[in-house]
Amino acid sequence: MRRAIASLRPLWGGLMGLLLLLVAVEVILGLIPGLPPLRLEPGYLLPLVGFSALLALTLLCNVAPRPSRREPVELESPVRGEWVAMNSPGQRLPSHGTLTRGQFSAVDVCTPADERTPPLVHGGLLGDRPERYGAFGRPIRSMAAGVVIRVRDGQRDHRARSTWPALLWMMTGEAMLREIGGTRKVLGNHVVVDHGDGTFAAYAHVRRGTAAVREGDRVAAGQVLAEVGNTGNSSMPHLHVQLMDRARTDAASGIPMRWRGIEPTGRLDPVFAQYAKEPAASALAGMPRNGEVFTAPPEPGAG
């Protein structure tokens, strides 16, 4: 039942958009003299119905299937070199605080801060350009052999949500619009690979126009799929990667994963150190905790 409700998430998002459109029309009609409002009688009925419907749709959007398995699957790292983990299963499960969209054991990774990295949030209006972040344009590699079943890389890379106005917009209006737009607007550009063993990997926030594979291609573990970008629900350039039991993220249950060959260093990145806590009892051993720098095998040819 939970999976069936979750699979209808596009419908719930569409109804939410229709409801917001009706509210917008009501406001506009109320501002134009001489036009009759849509308001039902008694006058409080429309706001009450609208609020109740919005609450019900929000609850439906948060229904997700429970994890189908708890033992982690060991995979290759999707990145090479030195990286930082956030929203990591090495901190807790579910790693992103939700079971929706197959995110039970998802992890976000970006490169460690350097002298060009902007603060997470600073003054100003517009956020920073994605080119200012070290992760932008770095290769994304397949965690296992399989067949590419979905490639989307047409969305533009937006600025980071690194100012207070941009962050507030991302958490309110933009979040609502992306929910209405569906999973493709949340994941942004992305690649999904079917491993052929009942597991599927999704690589999200891919840089526009960098997909190195096409649907139907067979890929090997470690093969480059695309580049890290800043598309979809992303506050700064990073890779969001997750393992699922379905190809469709809306109906998928997340599967725990652990990366072979990585070494958590125990060192905290100064930008993300404020989010570092002792790992919860549910954390996956061997995966870096939030804010922790970890190393993966170097890029081929790196000295």
Determine the pLDDT at residue 299.
72
- The pLDDT of residue 177 is 85
Predicted pLDDT at 264: 94
Instruction: List alpha helices for the chain, DSSP H.
Output: 2-7, 9-31, 45-61, 164-171, 173-181, 183-187
For residue 81, count CB atoms less than 10 angstroms from its CB and return exposed for 0-12, middle for 13-18, buried for 19 or more.
middle
Residue 67: per-residue pLDDT: 84
Domains and CATH numbers, the chain: 2-61 (no CATH), 73-296 (2.70.70.10)
pLDDT given for residue 298 in this prediction: 84
pLDDT recorded at residue 128 = 93
Give percent above pLDDT 70 in the chain. 92
pLDDT in tens, 52-86: 888 888 888 888 888 877 789 999 999 999 999 99
Burial class (CB in 10 A: 0-12, 13-18, 19+), 46: middle
- Which residues of the chain fall below pLDDT 70? 26-27, 29-30, 34-47, 300-303
Please, what's the b/e burial string for 228-263 (b: 16 or more CB within 10 A of its CB; e: otherwise)? bbbbbbbbbbbbbbbbbbbebbbbbbbbbbbbeebe
- What residues contact residue 29 under an 8 Å CB cut-off, 6+ apart? 35, 36, 37, 38
Q: What is the pTM of this model?
A: 0.90
Query: Strand 239-244 and strand 139-141: pairing?
Result: unpaired
* pLDDT in the model for residue 46: 63
